[in-house]
Structure formats: C-alpha cells, structure tokens
A and B are shown apart, each in its own frame.
Chain A
Amino acid sequence: MKISVRYKLFAISFIILGINVVLGLAVYKSDRKLLDSEQWVQHSEQVIIQSSNIRSLAREMQITSRDFLITDDSAFLEPLNHTQKAAFNYIGLLRQLTRDNPAQLKLTDSLDLYMHKLVNYSSKTIELRSKQGLSSVIAYTADKSRRRYTNRINQIANAIQGHEDILFKQRKQMNARNEMAFGRFSLIIFILMAGFTILLVIVAGKYLYQAKEKRKRAAELLIANDELLFQNKEKGDRAAELLIANKELLFQNEEKEKRAEELLVANKELLFQNEEKEKRAKELTIANKELLFQNNEKGKRAEELKLSEIERIEMVDELLQRNKELEQFAYIVSHNLRAPVANILGASNALNDMGLSTEEKIILNKGIHTSVIKIDEIIHDLNHILQVKGKVNETKELVNFSGLVDDIKASITHLTDKDDIEIKYDFPDVNEYFTVKPYLYSIFLNLISNSVKYRRPDSHCVIEIMSHLLKNKIELIFSDNGTGIDLKKKGEQVFGLYKRFHENIEGKGIGLFMVKTQVETLGGKISIKSQENVGTEFKIEFGI
C-alpha cells in the first residue's frame, strides 16, 4: 500500500514532536534532579549555618546573662530575651530543615532540650539575682551547670555540623555528577533535535516541491475542470432533452406494453389457431398423400382410359352419326314408301265406294299402277343402299385415279357427246389410292353425272378433277361451272336421301346420298362449296 507524501510528512512530524516531548520531559526531569541536588547542598549549608548560629547564640546567652548577673542591670535582660527567642527560632528552623533526617532531628531535639535547660537555668539565676542577690547566685552556680549546658549545646551543634558537613560533601559531589550528566544529555538532545529538524526540513522541502508540481497540475486540472464544467453543462442540457425524450419513451413504452399485452392475447389465440391448423395440416398432409397416391393410380388409369376414351369417343361419334343417318333413312324410307301406298289406298277407296265412270276408273287404275312401280323402285334403291352400307370389308386394291376417270368418260360418251361437256383431270401429287374400287368408281360417276345434270344450259360445261397429297390425307376436288345451289337454304339437305332441288330435271334424290354413304364407308369425308350460277365444288378427304 502506497502512503502519500503528505501523510508521511505528518507521520514524521508527529514522531519528531513525540520524541521532542519525550526529550523535553527528560531534560525537565534531569533539571529537577539537578535543582534537587543543589537544594540539598543549600539545605546542608543552611543546616551548618543554623547550627553555627545556635552555637553562637548559646555563647551570647551565657555572656549576656553573666553581664546581668554581675551588674544586675536590667538593660541586659532584653538582649538576653531576644537571644533566647532567636535561639529557639533557629532551633525551629533547624528542626524544619532536618525533619527528613531522623539522626539529625534527634540531635536537634537534644539541642532543643539542652537549650531549654540552659534557658531555664539562666532564668533561675536571673530570678535569684533579682530577689536574693549575687551571693545566692554564686551559690547556685557553684555546680557549673551553665557551662555544662553550654558545652553540651556546643557539642550537639558541632555533631549536627559534622553530620551535615559529610552530607554536604556527598551532596556536592552528586550535584557535580548530575551537572556533568545533564550537560552530556543536553548535548545529545541538541544533536537529536538538530537531526530531526534537518530531516523535517528535507521532507518539507520535498513536499513543497511536490506541492508546487501539484499546483501546476491543479492549474491544468482547473482548465480541464472548466472544460468538464462546460461539457457537464452541455450534458445537463442533453440530459434535460433526454429527460423529455425519456418521458416520451416511457409513454410509448406504456403504450407498447399495452399493445404487447393485447398482442400476447392475440398471439395466444393465434397459437391456438396455429395448433389447430397444424393438426388440420397434418391431417390434410396424410389425406393429401392418400389423394396423391390415389391420383397417381387415377393418372395411370386415366392414361389407360384416355386411349380407350379417345377410341370410345370416336366410336360413339361414329355410332351417333350412323344412328342419326339410320333414323333419317328410316324416316325418309317410311315417308317415301307411304306416299305411293297412300295413293293406292285412296284410289282403291274411290274405286270401291263410288259409282265411277269408266274413264275415271281407267285413270285411277293407272294411278295405282304408277304407285306400285314407284314402290318397286324404292325397294330397289333401298336394296342398293343397304348393300353399300352393309359391305364394309370389300376387297381393297390400288386404284388409279386417271384410269378411273378415263373409264367413266368412255361409259358416258352418249351424254358428253350430245352437249358441249369437257372433263379435265390433274393428279400430279397422288394418282393412286388403296381402296374398294367399285365404290370409288360409283363416287366418281355420281359426282360427274351430277355436274352434267346440273350444268348451265347456256354455257360450256367444264368439269375439273384434281388430287392433293397433304400431311396425312389425300384430297380429291370435283369442281364445275354449273347452276350451283344456295347452301344457306339447302346446305343440310344436299346429301339427304330423296332430296331434290331442281324442277324440271330428272332425279330421284339418291345420287349424292349414295356418294356420301360410299365415301363414309371408305372412311372418308365429303363437303360442298357452291354458289348459285357460278358452280359447285365437292371435296373428298381420305386418310392415308
């Protein structure tokens, strides 16, 4: 632990102060001791002086009392009394001085005793002198007591002096020793004090230098402090702003907490819903997998079914078409058969019920005959149609188109020669087709006949036959410059059985029906384009 210089200085100062105090006490004590020893020396001198005084007084009392005794002069009495008092005074002082010394005190007491005896003796003598005269005194003093007492006092005083003299010498020696000791001690103390003081000065100087440094630092710190103060003020301003912002934040925080609580509730709700959804999702996932599997199965099945479905649709379409045709066929046949039958019925009714003239009967019979022939014709037609429809699997062969047209041209020369009729053909792309030859022949013949039949009488008849090879089919085009037909009105019926559209032209309404039937039997399609007084174009398509 580092102790600061200041504290060190304080500590050293206190230590020096403490030592000084101790030293002071020591000096004081040795000084007292010296004083004591000096007192004792003085005391001994006093004792010697007093005892000497007492001895002198005792002699004076002897002299003074003798003077009175001789003279009986009372003038001598007063100094005697005075001397006596002084003697006792000195004895009192001596007692005072020797109270600590029992041997001297005992001697002093003895001195006092003999002094009293001396005083008493003196007083007795004085009394005797005054009252009985000199003679009684002389008598009384014969024993020489006075001398004895005085000697005794001298002896005691000398003893006290002797004693005290020894003490005096001893004390003087001691005092000298003390004096020497005190001197040495004082020197040591002085050196120590000087040393400590120098130390203190050094330490203080050091401290002062440091203090100066510190003052410099303090000045620098003062500037820094000012700077800090300014910054603090700035901070204070900022703090105030922050306080406001803090309040704002606090408010916002509260709002947020409210929101948070609301959100918490909403969150729980969502959590619950999510769980529900997850459950559902899991269920759905399982169901989905199941569905996927089933879908795959279905896909496989669907692909399998697709092909058969296409086949089925084609088949159904074909069947529907066939059915429609058959219905139409049945309807037409029934109607066309019933027309002559109805005539026969009507005619026979008339013949049976009414009284007719011979002429009328002949007419009716003719009508019946005509009707029966018509029925026969129709039955032949039906037979022909049914033959075509029924025999789908005729033997197929490679048929040459140009050869076919040439054959037909040769067979109808009676028609083409009579009128101005031109038949042209061009088969550059494809001139052959693997098919049932009699049917194709019939188709070509019927279409050519149709064009011849419905030619425009006022203009040169041109019939053109062409073939085109397309991507997956053969196209045969038959075009003429004949009367044409209004397809908007009659389009549906062109290929119908027993449909006729022209007055004055021979026809049963079976040719185009047969063409269509045969084309379809061979797996082809036929269509028509026509414009009245311009011409007609038939297009036949066969798949390859």
Chain B
Amino acid sequence: MSGDIKYIIVDDDAINNMICTLMLKRTLHEAGIKTFEEPLEGLVFIQNNVNGLITHSVLFLDIHMPVLTGWDFLGQYENFSEEIKKQISIYLLSSSISQHDRDKAKNYKSVKGFISKPLTTAKILSIAGNEF
C-alpha cells in the first residue's frame, strides 16, 4: 500500500461508505481510499495532507448530512488555495434524484460531476478513465 490517497469519500452514511470502499477495491484494486462520516474531518484531512498523502485525488461528497451538509462543505472548500483545488476532483455522490440538486451543483466550480447512488462498477471505471 503506497502512501497516496486516490479516493476520498465524505458521507454520514456508514453503510454507503462501506459499499463504496468495497466497490472501489474490487473494481480498481485500489488501496488508497479514505472515508469520512464527519465532513469537517474530511476538510481538515485535505488541508493537512496536500503534497503529502494527496497528490491527485477523487472526492466523493454526499449532499444531505447533518450539521455540515455537502453544500456547506463546498462553501468552505471554495476558500482553499488553488494549489489544493488543483489536486482534488470533487464528484457529488447523492441518493437524491432531484433535478434541483443537480442544477445547484453547477454553481460550484469545484464540482466535476454528479453521481446518483449507488456507485456502480461502470461509474467507477468512467471516472477513473477521466481522472487517471
């Protein structure tokens, strides 16, 4: 297991995080996966590990979370330096099937895509193809 973190998952739903980790490992044989049930912990981790553990990573972000929602997360992330933003590709991963949420996502420059749960093999391969 190398030190690089290639996939970060921020979701308060533990079951979802477990399934996603399993899917990523099985599809890509990837070991560099980090999950956060608390969004704030995710933000702190990113800020602290850039140019260390993180060189270029994909972040799956849930929208509907208590305390700090996906949108709140993005709001804070926008304030990060360009150096950090360059290294992170954010994909919203939501159980929502609402068009309203998809439209809202377009307002955030950092968001590269909107993925509807569940995360499938096909979706993982497509993203991995684009990013790496």
Chain A residues within CB distance 8 Å of chain B: 331, 334-336, 338-343, 345-347, 349-350, 353-354, 356, 360, 363-364, 367, 370-371, 499-503, 509
B84 to chain A, nearest CB (A): 24
Picked from A335, A343, A349, the residue with its CB within 8 Å of the CB of B64 is A335
CA distance A336 to B26 in the complex (A): 28
B112 at interface by CB-CB < 8 Å:
no
**CB neighbours of A335 from chain B (8 A):** 64, 95-96, 98
Other A-B pairs, 13, CB within 8 Å; known A343-B19, A353-B121, A371-B15:
A331-B98, A338-B96, A338-B97, A339-B95, A346-B16, A346-B117, A347-B15, A354-B26, A356-B26, A364-B19, A367-B15, A500-B66, A501-B66
Whether B66 contacts A342 by the Cβ 8 Å rule is no
CA distance A360 to B25 in the complex (A): 12
Whether B18 contacts A367 by the Cβ 8 Å rule is yes
**CB neighbours of B13 from chain A (8 A):** 339, 343
CA distance A338 to B13 in the complex (A): 12
Whether A347 contacts B64 by the Cβ 8 Å rule is no
Whether A347 contacts B117 by the Cβ 8 Å rule is no
Picked from A340, A370, A503, the residue with its CB within 8 Å of the CB of B38 is A503
- Would you call the interface of chain B mostly helix, strand, loop, or mixed? loop
CA distance A265 to B8 in the complex (A): 95
Picked from B19, B67, B116, B121, the residue with its CB within 8 Å of the CB of A367 is B19
Chain B residues within CB distance 8 Å of chain A: 13, 15-16, 18-20, 22-23, 26, 38, 64, 66-67, 95-98, 100, 116-121
**CB neighbours of B19 from chain A (8 A):** 343, 346-347, 350, 364, 367
CA distance A356 to B18 in the complex (A): 14
Whether A341 contacts B95 by the Cβ 8 Å rule is yes
Whether A499 contacts B66 by the Cβ 8 Å rule is yes
A241 to chain B, nearest CB (A): 95
**CB neighbours of A343 from chain B (8 A):** 13, 15-16, 19, 117-118
**CB neighbours of A360 from chain B (8 A):** 22
Whether A363 contacts B18 by the Cβ 8 Å rule is yes
CB closest chain-A residue, reference B96: A335
CA distance A331 to B95 in the complex (A): 12
Whether A501 contacts B67 by the Cβ 8 Å rule is yes
CB closest chain-B residue, reference A330: B98
**CB neighbours of B26 from chain A (8 A):** 350, 354, 356
**CB neighbours of A353 from chain B (8 A):** 121
**CB neighbours of B22 from chain A (8 A):** 350, 356, 360, 363-364
**CB neighbours of A339 from chain B (8 A):** 13, 16, 64, 95, 117
B125 to chain A, nearest CB (A): 13
A62 to chain B, nearest CB (A): 211
Could you write out 24 A-B pairs with CB less than 8 Å apart? A331-B98, A334-B96, A339-B64, A339-B95, A343-B13, A343-B15, A343-B117, A345-B118, A346-B16, A346-B20, A346-B117, A346-B118, A347-B19, A349-B121, A350-B23, A350-B26, A363-B22, A367-B18, A371-B15, A500-B66, A501-B66, A502-B66, A503-B66, A503-B67
**CB neighbours of B18 from chain A (8 A):** 363-364, 367
A86 to chain B, nearest CB (A): 198
**CB neighbours of B96 from chain A (8 A):** 334-335, 338
The 10 closest A-B pairs by CB, nearest first: A346-B118, A500-B66, A342-B117, A339-B95, A367-B15, A346-B19, A338-B95, A342-B95, A345-B118, A343-B15
Picked from B15, B67, B97, B118, the residue with its CB within 8 Å of the CB of A349 is B118
CB closest chain-B residue, reference A345: B118
Centre residue among A341, A346, A371, A501 by max chain B CB count within 10 A: A346
CB closest chain-B residue, reference A507: B66
